[in-house]
Amino acid sequence: MIADFEDFCLWVYVVVDELWQQLPPRYKPRRGPAPGCSDSELIAMALAGECRGWQRETELIASWRGYRHLFPVVPERTRFNRRRRDLALAINAIRQGLLAALDVAHDRQCAIDSLPVPVLAFHLVPSAAGTGGWRAAGADFGKVPTKKQTIFGYKLHLLVTLGGAIRDFALAPASVGDLPAGVALLRGHADLAVIGDKAYISAPLADELRAGHGVALLTVPRRNQHRQLPAATARLLNGARQIVETVNDQLTEQFGLAAHQAHTFRGLCARLYTKLAAHTLCLYLNRLLGNADWLQIKARCPGSLSIRDHPDGFRDTVLLVKALSGVFVRVCRAGAETPTRTWRSLRGRDPAGYARLELQRFAELCSGFSSIAGMELLPNPPIQHTTLPCKTL
């Protein structure tokens, strides 16, 4: 069972190291003598840091130096960044290995959607020194209708099973619409039923996917279309499609996808691989530990922990809840439950008070790690910007 953050780190390292040993040599770059921090240790540190909420590398490295009893050698920030970029494909291969062992990842019913990945603030694009490099890597201006904004960067297109696992993904310029990018992603799959929103409505492309790949692209018609679905069927599709919205929110709010801190396309890819692998790892641990509500990836652990509510200590406490794979957290004071989202107002009202995290114990370990032996990696090409026709808005 997982009792605290240190236990979580141990679980992460064991899972990562088991998968690392099974990877082919092409995923294991080596420059010079063996480093004091092994590759599997560095990947485990990156994944656990994402779960903990350490988004900036300066924060990540500084925080890990307080856990030298877990990872004795903590690389310097620039070396950590360089090695993670070199290990980006290995991180993605580990994510594929987790998918192979994750039962809910094999669901043939999926949902598809996209979320924005801005790389530069809109007003900084004309003058920023890195604009040319981002443009060379395919970044472009594009509209995000759901947020009523225009971004400069990319869109991450996700194919998510109805069990909440990210089965596949593609990164496309922000100017590319959801329909062409989504169809290009689905052409790499077969025998799926995929639910999309109204942005994916296209009878010719839906017929092509069904005939050529056995992929049924299901959408609710627009109100002005002649053919309409029964109301009950439309409600069913809309309800099932909410799973991809949940995953989008988790990646954005809990894993900081929109605030990725990348300065180059290669760095962006490394961070995306890490965040997607961390999300899959949380689902895998939830399933392995018998957690019935495996889609909840905020922490809970045994017992009650009283912590003084000062600005830094309380923030560290709240970040701690991102570290484990559990169900939910309740922030309490004087026995009164307060939703997690209101912790900032609680801290403002009583900055010198006490906070108590009520965290519930995980279930007993189900089956050890024998289930991940002998897995087959799912086909998933390296992430890259999509070579789809783009138009400038």
Any idea what the CATH number is for the domain that residue 189 is in? Answer: 3.30.420
pLDDT digits over 272-313, tens only?
A: 999 999 999 999 999 988 888 888 776 443 322 222 222 333
Which residue matches tokens 């400069």?
152
336: three-class secondary structure by DSSP: strand
Q: Is the pLDDT of residue 327 over 50?
A: no
Q: Rounded to whole angstroms, how far apart are CA atoms 334 and 128?
A: 50
205 in any annotated domain: yes
Task: Answer yes or no: do 113 and 247 share one domain.
Answer: yes
**Cβ–Cβ contacts within 10 Å for residue 43, how many?**
24
Task: Answer yes or no: do 224 and 353 share one domain.
Answer: no
Last residue of a domain, one of 223, 241, 258: 258
176 in any annotated domain: yes
Task: Answer yes or no: do 133 and 239 share one domain.
Answer: yes
96 in any annotated domain: no
382 in any annotated domain: no
pLDDT digits over 146-178, tens only?
A: 888 899 999 999 999 999 999 999 999 999 999
Q: Rounded to whole angstroms, how far apart are CA atoms 254 and 348?
A: 22
Range of the domain at 241: 104-258
Phi, psi of 41 (to 5 degrees): -65, -45
332 in any annotated domain: yes
Q: Is the pLDDT of residue 20 over 90?
A: yes
pLDDT at position 184: 94
What is the pTM (predicted TM-score) of this model? 0.75
Residue 377 pLDDT class (50, 70, 90 cuts): very low
pLDDT digits over 224-245, tens only?
A: 887 887 888 888 888 888 999 9
Task: Say if CB 96 and CB 19 are below 8 A apart.
Answer: no
39 in any annotated domain: no
284 in any annotated domain: no
Domain count for the chain, please give it.
2
Q: Rounded to whole angstroms, how far apart are CA atoms 199 and 177?
A: 8
Average pLDDT of span 341-369:
29
229 in any annotated domain: yes
Q: Rounded to whole angstroms, how far apart are CA atoms 129 and 331?
A: 43
For 105-119, 190-204, 318-332, which range has the lowest pLDDT when averaged over its residues? Answer: 318-332
Task: Answer yes or no: do 227 and 352 share one domain.
Answer: no
